[in-house]
Amino acid sequence: MSDPDVEIRERTVATNGVELHVVEAGPPDGPVVVLAHGFPELAYSWRHQVPALAAAGYHVLAADQRGYGRSSTPEAIDQYDIVHLTDDLLGLLDDVGAEQAIFVGHDWGSMVVWQQALLNPDRVAGVVGMSVPFLPRGPMPPTELMRNAFGDNFFYILYFQEPGVADADLGRDATTTMRRMLCGVRVTGDEKGVAEATARMFAPGPAGFVERMSEPAGLPGWLSQAELDHYAAEFGRTGFTGGVNWYRNFDRNWSLTEHLAGARVAAPSLFIGGALDPVLAMSPPGIADTQLEDHRGNVIIDGAGHWVQQEKPAEVNAALLDFVCSLHGAPAQ
């Protein structure tokens, strides 16, 4: 995260029973924007957004969330439920003395910030989901729905449920895992190639998650070797258990949010996704826009896959700045 005109600060915030490694930039008195990464990512995933938002006058906070990077990794699985995850982000606000923030999430971070808007609406000035749109509470525990839908087929979220199994698979070679993850979550190639990759990913059988992913011919233009090495070094050091434990709370989260059934997001909202992101096929943008009371639109970025804010930073930054400035105006710089 380098920009000659923006000072990037890194520090540790103790909150909610954990210590969070936080990347911070921008004027301390500026409107607060909290950036929440997904799986398997880090605060580093926002390296293109932190300087841009700070340069525009916003006070930006991006943490390695619990279980990731240089933040704490609690041992108990139930320490990764949605209440702990949303409270961690509130702790960042409390630490800087802010009543509200605009919360921006990607992937799993999107699910956290959407729920933040329901659980703690008074603290949310706006919410942006990337790659995962707002999803209403389902009629039964999520893993039950998934088992009904996928039957004997492989599905990674169900594979992640058994403690130790996915952890060992993902952690066997962090470089291979991160290279295949970062280069592979997009819809590309001819129809035959897409069909073969899809069949391999969902086919029944004992194969693990990593071996089902394709090995890329090379790194895409948006991802340098140094950037991949950073991810590989961090996950090689920490392993993947912390992040996988988020998945092991799907059913617990469903139980904890029973009181939110049918709830609507009151805060102004925005969705940003990549046109080549396969997640959009499973969870289409607009699937629950009627439950967003002040939705400002769905921005679909051509040429981007799942890692949209890293793949197309200029386009994402433009959409983000349009949204946050519409809420606060352009802060004094």
Active site residues: 107, 306
**How many other CB atoms are found less than 10 A from the CB of residue 222?**
17
DSSP 8-class letter at 296 = E
H or E element in which residue 12 lies: strand 8-15
Report how far Cα 308 is from the mean position of its chain's Cα atoms.
11
Q: In what order do the strands lie in the sheet with 124-130?
A: 8-15, 18-25, 59-63, 32-36, 101-106, 124-130, 265-274, 292-301
Cα-Cα end-to-end distance for the chain: 20
Measured over all CA atoms, what is the biggest interatomic distance in the chain, rounded to whole angstroms?
58
Show the tokens assigned to 270.
Answer: 């925005």
Q: Where are the alpha helices (DSSP H) in the chain?
A: 49-55, 82-96, 108-119, 142-150, 156-159, 165-171, 174-184, 191-202, 209-212, 225-238, 241-247, 250-256, 279-282, 308-311, 313-328
Residue with tokens 């499973």: 282
Helix (H, G, I), strand (E, B) or coil at 318: helix
Residues in the chain: 333
